[in-house]
A and B are shown apart, each in its own frame.
Chain A
Amino acid sequence: MNTPWDSRFEALVMRHVELGRDGGLRPDDDLLSHGLDSIAIVELVVSLEETYGIEIPDERLSQQSFTTPGVLWSVVSGLLRPETSREGVA
């Protein structure tokens, strides 16, 4: 399945969720009901920030940003510099 994100994003998110099925993330998977709890969100944000060299701004640090991979990727990709973005896409 084609997804808009790169393999690093997929791997980082998959560390914190248990989808209960084979295959990778889908854009509309419900992350919060598949194990992404409040502490996991903290760990995930730190990993994403370190991996992509970004800092997610305060106004995007809400539960809403972590509802689905699609929403979260839109937050992350919106913060990537163009060259980082190109390098990052798998």
Chain B
Amino acid sequence: MTTAPEKTAHPDVPAPDGPDTSALPAHARLLLALARPRLDAAHERLARSLADRNDLDWGAFLDAAARHKLLPLVGRHVFTNRLDRDREGLKGFPYGWVFTTSYLGNRVRNQALADDFGRVFRELGEAGVRHAVRKGFSLAEGEYGDPALRRINDVDLLVDRDDVPRAHEVLERLGYVQGKLAEDGEQVVPFSRKTQIFWRVNLSNQLPYRKAGNRPDVPEFNVDLCHDIFQKKSGVSAPARELLDRSVPMVLCGAPTWVPEPADRLLDLCSHLHKEATSLQFIEDSVDLQISKFLDVALVAAGYDEEVWRAFLVRVEEYEAGPIAYYALHFTAELYPDAVPPEVLAALRPEDTTYLDQYGTFDGQTARWALPFLGRLFDIGRGDDSERSNVPHD
């Protein structure tokens, strides 16, 4: 396990209800304490207690916060809760500016993304292209309540396959090209033929549309058009057309658009989490397990009432997506025990749960993790021994 060496135990304040993190290094426990948009008194006390420990490896904390895409959120807590100030004999966070400027930088970056993506939503709508925003800004402007808290890479839009030509025309007019940012960071160059073929034969998305950002905080703008919330290889399918028929109008990034209706929205997040947590390509890039994705699921799930949970269970059954939904909700509940009602987990739990510790199945190379979930969540070398992904992405 590749984590910072631990030193002697330190008597912390009691942990609020949550996972048993006693085996984790202090930096990991601190990150888990802070991994929520609003810091309650109990988690703040725990965070201050952990920050005071002499054995806390701040370099490892910074690395983990960045890897788990939580650095802006931590920065907001540092500022709003004055975590960088010594208090009641407890030392504050060192170099608080690193955290707070990450938050401010993310605020500026997301504003730039919102300006561009808002234009995309508006123009798609005007061209008659029904679309729905997955994840990203729907969460940042919704459950997070502050778009600067959530690191956003791109915008994923559900679009019916039949609307692709019109969507393509709109995106092209707005300067987007299907390709990858060149090494100079200024041009977008086409993907290799192999990558184009692989995407078209095997994936439920169009090749990504990109536009150079030409600014330090936004190297590129990235729009993904998705036709299904599940990967073809999962054997499960929920076509965009069906979700679009049920989608809900919304204003995001200052423009009219749609988002999937609640049950679809959570199922989409579950599918996304499961895909990235178990696919070799994401393991290879060390972005398979990120607390931010579990937090996304937890925040959406926490807002559900009984009626929505009932609708969710019906939808899961309709798409035969039980194992995927259970995977995401089971591990989310490990980190955020209050987010998912136990009866929902019980209703979804498959008889055989050995797949929870497996990965690589979609790649045709099923393997098993050696470490339990919490251990591998913070093990930056967890993918070192895994098979390499053979998915072309150059």
Contact = CB atoms under 8 A, between A and B. Distances in A.
Do the two shown chains form a genuine complex with each other? yes
A43 B202 CA distance: 13
A38 B390 CA distance: 10
A45 B200 CA distance: 12
B364 A42 contact: no
Interface in A39-69: 39, 41-43, 45-46, 49, 56, 58, 61-63, 66
Contact of A45 (B197, B232, B390, B391): B197
A37 interface: yes
Given A37-B364, A39-B390, A46 B197 contact: yes
A58 B201 contact: no
Given A37-B364, A39-B390, A42-B392, A63 B201 contact: yes
**A interface: dominant SS:** helix
Nearest to A63: B201
Given A37-B364, A39-B390, A46 B200 contact: no
Contacts of B392: 42
A39 B280 CA distance: 14
Contacts of B232: 63
Contacts of A42: 194, 197-198, 201, 392
A46 B201 contact: no
Given A46-B193, A49-B193, A38 B200 contact: no
Contacts of A37: 364
Nearest to B202: A38
Interface in A17-55: 37-39, 41-43, 45-46, 49
For chain A, the bracket of interface size reads: 10 to 19
Interface in B165-213: 193-194, 197-198, 200-202
Contacts of B194: 42-43, 46
Interface in A60-85: 61-63, 66
A41 to B, nearest CB: 5
Interface in B290-308: none
Contact of A41 (B193, B201, B233, B391): B201
Interface string B357-373: 00000001000000000
A66 B201 CA distance: 10
Nearest to A43: B194
B201 A61 contact: yes
A49 B194 CA distance: 11
Interface in B354-394: 364, 390-392
Q: Which of A37, A42, A61 has the most CB of B within 10 A?
A: A42
Contacts of B193: 46, 49
A53 to B, nearest CB: 14
B197 A41 contact: yes
A37 B202 CA distance: 10
B200 A62 contact: yes
A63 B198 CA distance: 11
Contacts of A61: 197, 200-201
7 contacts: A37-B364, A39-B391, A42-B194, A42-B392, A45-B201, A61-B201, A62-B201
Smallest CB-CB A-B distances: 7 pairs: A61-B200, A38-B202, A42-B197, A45-B197, A42-B198, A39-B390, A42-B194
Given A41-B197, A41-B201, 17 more contacts: A37-B364, A38-B198, A38-B201, A41-B202, A42-B197, A42-B198, A42-B201, A42-B392, A43-B194, A45-B197, A45-B201, A46-B197, A49-B193, A58-B200, A62-B200, A62-B201, A63-B201
